[in-house]
Amino acid sequence: MMQATQTEGESLNKDAVRKLSKAKKEPEWLLQQRLAALKAYRELPEAELKYGLHVMAAPNIVIEDLHLLENLTTHSGSKVSDVVVEDLSIAAAKYESLLKPIITSGKYQDRLEALFAASWNNGIFIHAPKRKVPGEPVNVHLQLKQKQTELVAIVVVAEENSNLFITESLTQTEAKGQSYRIQGTGVMAGANATIKFATVQKLGKNANCHIIRRGVAQHSARIDWVDITTGGGFTRQETTTALNEEGASSTITGAFFGEDSQQLDIQAKQIHNARNTSSNIRIKGALQGKAKAIVQSFTKIMEQAANSAGHQKANVLLLSDSARASPIPKLEIDNYDVKASHEASVGQLDKEKLFYLMSRGMDNREAATLAVEGFFEPLLRELPTELAEDIRSTIKSKLNFEEETQ
Amino acid sequence: MKELQVKDLHVEVDSKEILKGVSLEVDKSEIVALMGPNGAGKSSLGYALMGHPSYKVTSGSIVYKGKDITQLPPNERAKMGLFLSFQYPSEVPGVSMANFLRTAINSRRDKNSLIPVGEFVKQLKETMKMLKMDESFMHRYLNEGFSGGEKKRAEILQMAMLHPEMAILDETDSGLDVDSLKTVAEGINRLMNPEMGVLLITHYQRILDYVKPNKVYVMMNGKVAKSGGPELVQKIEKEGYEPMVIN
């Protein structure tokens, strides 16, 4: 097991990156990519976190090279599966022609991204080869347990007609002090391929969690993102799909529950680059205690993307007087032949509704619990059953009505 | 002693007095009509009896089954047997009618004797049939997208499933066409039993053609202006509420 302590200008240097890459048996091109990212990291400004959430990106990062496969379990739903799940560093040599263009194409939007590209310590590659006709989905389940800080890179390539359903659950076993989770996920859906990618984040309250998920959908491909966030002290989560070819579609469905001093910065972006593309963003969250959330949804329809549709909806429920939320919906449309809509709301439980429920015999807590469950239900109904059950029970166990709702 | 006694009830909403000393009684096996023009305070009385938090009782009392319930929260009143059929029931998105009713029934039961799902569904289906409601209502979100008539039926469905002993029916007849009115009235008559009392709040005498009251109260300006037997209904139909203002 290798340990590298990285602090600015000190441990995070070329030698540390070389050592990490060597330990992971990476090909030369990947090492060069890491070194280029390190250079970019030094030149870029600090990651910007806006809208009143004052949490700085990691100034100090301790990297522990946990043996990846110990922390990773996968199983496939179909009996015979040609889907590959492999260590990304090893895959970088084996699948160079496939992975090199993907990994080296990225531009770093801020310092955090460059830092991540230079020093990610765990990588996973999931590959679904081309099929003649679309088939049943192959399930891949990633159980990503972490102790302290972890930088995880995930690359998914679903080739023509393939169908993947990936769920990742992020948990933490024994966090001492602050830890960081930075995760970069890149997803490519080839022509007519379908990818459902669900992230369930239940990290500890001392974890700073940055998740960046980017997808590219080719002709008639579909990418459905799901994220369920109930953990983390500070969570910044950015999901973007580029609908690059005709007929591509994407949904981003998010549900969160925040309590205590949890802070969430959620960004969902759908970029329509081609004709006949469609996208949807739906986010629902509830906050209690002093929790704060920013929910930014952004739909961009480019001039060339005629006959496209982009819809977004974000609703946040505040369950305490000190909880705060700002939904920031944004539409940018450069073509008139499109359908687009947005809706955003922040509200509290309706007192009339609670009275109605209580008049039937439910006490304050039962009535409020039922109303909160009802708030999430229309969204959860559309999720895979286990995921919906999981968040239902998490929410139920966390709900804490300190104040009389009467 | 009468089952429900309202004694000189004064109620404020947002520091404005809206009930100015209401006294009335409803006993077991009685159907009591509460009539009066718009704004007389009929619905406010319904809310106050059920314990709506915005309706503050400033003086007077509500006594039910010999107990002063003036300060009890709505759920405690419900557990004692009180029920309010709302004039404008809230929509509760995401909560199916079946889930809601089962939660409501179980909230009145001991943790060890919750209603078995099979028995619940059977009861629910039978009751919906009686009220000529389509079974699909079970799975629909509570009151969401229901028409006015559907909401009223759903209220009576809840009453039938919860078996209250004192039901306050607030304008259950408003917004119903003749057929729906008959179905709802039939439902009320079938649920009526010697252990149950009903306070029927209505603006028009229409529903009283089907549900026969034993007693009639007329409210005006936050007070009971007149009370009497069923013959009062005919009088109001002929003369309107105006003459009672002069009295």
Is pLDDT at A9 greater than 70 in this prediction? Answer: no
Is A101 within a domain?
yes
Is pLDDT at B131 greater than 50 in this prediction? Answer: yes
Residue A77 pLDDT: 47
CB contact under 8 A, A361 and B75: yes
Contacts of A375 in chain B (CB under 8 A): 93-94
CA distance B53 to chain A (A): 6
Is A145 within a domain?
yes
Is pLDDT at A10 greater than 70 in this prediction? Answer: no
Is A169 within a domain?
yes
Residue A337 pLDDT: 93
- Give the number of beta-carbon pairs within 8 Å between A and B: 84
The full set of domain ranges for chain B reads: 4-246
Give the pair of three-digit tokens for residue B137.
């209502």
A360 touches chain B (CB under 8 A): yes
Is A65 within a domain?
yes
Q: Is the ipTM of this complex over 0.90?
A: yes
Residue A406 pLDDT: 39
Is A74 within a domain?
yes
Is pLDDT at A71 greater than 80 in this prediction? Answer: no
The string of pLDDT tens digits covering residues B1-26 is 899 999 999 999 999 999 999 999 99
Contacts of B104 in chain A (CB under 8 A): 357, 360-362
Residue in B84, B100, B141 nearest the CB of A359: B84
Residue B124 pLDDT: 97
Residue B12 pLDDT: 97
Contacts of B158 in chain A (CB under 8 A): 360
pLDDT band at residue B154, thresholds of 50, 70 and 90?
Answer: very high
pLDDT band at residue A291, thresholds of 50, 70 and 90?
Answer: very high
The total number of structural domains in chain A stands at 1
Is A308 within a domain?
no
The string of pLDDT tens digits covering residues B37-88 is 989 999 999 999 999 999 999 999 999 999 999 999 999 999 999 999 999 9
Mean pLDDT over A13-35 rounds to 91
Superfamily of domain B4-246: P-loop containing nucleotide triphosphate hydrolases (3.40.50.300)
Residue A49 pLDDT: 56
Residue A87 pLDDT: 87
Is A255 within a domain?
no
pLDDT band at residue A51, thresholds of 50, 70 and 90?
Answer: very low
| Residue whose token pair is 């088939």 | A135
Mean pLDDT over A81-89 rounds to 85
The residue of chain A nearest to residue B78, with distances taken between CA atoms, is: A361
More confidently predicted of B102 and B176 = B102
The residue of chain A nearest to residue B91, with distances taken between CA atoms, is: A353
Mean pLDDT over A10-38 rounds to 88
Is A381 within a domain?
no
CB contact under 8 A, B103 and A378: no
Q: Which domain holds residue A119?
A: 3-245
Residue B245 pLDDT: 64
Is pLDDT at A219 greater than 90 in this prediction? Answer: yes
CB contact under 8 A, A370 and B92: yes
Most confident option among A2-6, A178-182, A389-393, B223-227: B223-227
CA distance B83 to chain A (A): 7
Q: Give which of A313, A356, A364, A377 to mutate to test B binding, by max B Cβ within 10 Å.
A: A356
Contacts of A373 in chain B (CB under 8 A): 94-95
Is pLDDT at A11 greater than 80 in this prediction? Answer: no
A359 touches chain B (CB under 8 A): yes
CA distance A380 to chain B (A): 10
